[in-house]
Every structure is written in structure tokens, then in C-alpha cells.
Amino acid sequence: MKRSRQVRLTLLTGISAGVLAGCSPSGKPPLTASNVYTNDYYVPGAGYYHAPFRGWFAYPYNFFDQQRQQYFYGGQWAPSPYESIINISSPTVTAADAAEAVRTDVSRGGFGGTYSSSGSSFFS
């Protein structure tokens, strides 16, 4: 009797591990609104996280463009860098979902898509 219980437990554990492994084949954690990220946390395909603006953007936080002579933050260009004491935050649900959908560092089965951006934002 004990032996059959042990076999069932082993089979259930194996099945559970297979199901959970299927959720994240790359082993990378999903981007969620319950996690916190620092400024410039980079996600391939989604961009750089801007903590004060709670979303991912095409350029690093306070990126300076030599040609424009302006700084980029929160989806906009400005003549001076953005000053904020916030350097870590949780993204909005919309931002996390959008970034998770376009990230390119995880393999997904089925049909894929492409993403292009010119400084756009994934926050709302």
C-alpha cells in the first residue's frame, strides 16, 4: 500500500513540474505589476524601465541624444534631465502586460509578432 502511494505522489509531482515548466520555458520570470523594477531595467523587445513613470520605453532613463541636445524620460524629450527620488517602482498592470507581450527574451510557441518603437511607452 505504501509503495503505490509513493508512486502516485511521484507521478503527480512529475506532472506538476512539467506543467509549471511549460509556463516559463525560458526560466525567466514574467513581468508583472506585483514585481518591482529599477530604473533602466532592460527587457529585450520591451525596452528600459523608467521607475518614476512606471513603464518601459525605447531609450534608457534620462538618455541624452547628442543630435537633439535633449534628454529622454517617460516617453518624452526635454532640454534637461528628469529629477526624481524614485528609482524603483512597480509598473502599472497595463505596462507590465504590454511589456510581457512584446518581450523577445522568452520563447513562446505558436505565432509571433514584431514590435517597433520610436520612444513609445508601455505605461498607462
For the segment 36-60, what is each residue's pLDDT rounded down to a tens digit?
999 999 999 999 999 999 999 999 9
pLDDT at 70 over 50: yes
pLDDT at 16 over 90: no
Same domain, 89 and 105: yes
Sheet holding 70-73, edge to edge: 63-65, 70-73, 76-78
Same domain, 9 and 39: no
Number of domains in the chain: 2
Same domain, 41 and 87: yes
- Asked whether the whole model's pTM tops 0.75, one would answer no
Provide the greatest CA pair distance for the chain.
76
Q: How far apart are CA 36 and CA 15, in angstroms?
A: 31
pLDDT at 124 over 50: no
Q: What does the pLDDT read at residue 19?
A: 39
Same domain, 38 and 90: yes
Same domain, 100 and 81: yes
Same domain, 1 and 46: no
Same domain, 20 and 41: no
Q: What range defines the domain where residue 1 resides?
A: 1-25
Same domain, 17 and 40: no
Same domain, 109 and 54: yes
Write the burial class of residue 91 (CB in 10 Å: 0-12 exposed, 13-18 middle, 19+ buried): buried
